[in-house]
Structure 1
């Protein structure tokens, strides 16, 4: 699922215009020499099987946190909103998050959690 999230974020025209190959998993940007916009995709839990039939799971629940980092607060907010739209288009619902500014590093960070339930394609074949 994380690969599908990355693919959809990269293919979005607005995001690809502002984020140049800086979409990573687990890997945080170098705040001491940050340039541009960075997106970090973090799985917060393993896929959890749910909705069973004949004692087999039909779906998996996923929980991700997607973070947008930059030194430009306005652009950071716009990209984070676009990420939220893309995640909704994929089928995720936005949960809680944090919008913060680190004054000492002059870095903005918008981190939002997304939960989604998707059919397990292997099980339903």
Structure 2
């Protein structure tokens, strides 16, 4: 692999071993450094990008799960209030009777 001077210069600037203002010719040690370390650098960057994407996906799924839980909790509370207001015996804790859930679904269209 014979890299161009611009490739070597850009890599050396990116990793902080060359001043961006330095437009002098690329030296043989810089070319060797590029050839030896650029593949590993690219692999590490790809690995970091993949890890970041996995983490973003985990956060997205956690956020969706939290939203579903909040939605469910809100409707459970509303179902209890609706049941008590409509003559059903619904406690403040525990399972909501199936008859109350079905009646709530018919009245509101929300399934629990």
Please indicate the TM-score interval, normalised by the length of the shorter structure: under 0.3
Instruction: Considering fraction of residues, name the structure with more strand.
Output: 1
Q: Over alpha carbons, which structure has the higher Rg?
A: 2
Higher relative contact order, structure no. (Cα contacts within 8 Å, ≥ 6 residues apart): 1
Instruction: Considering fraction of residues, name the structure with more helix.
Output: 2
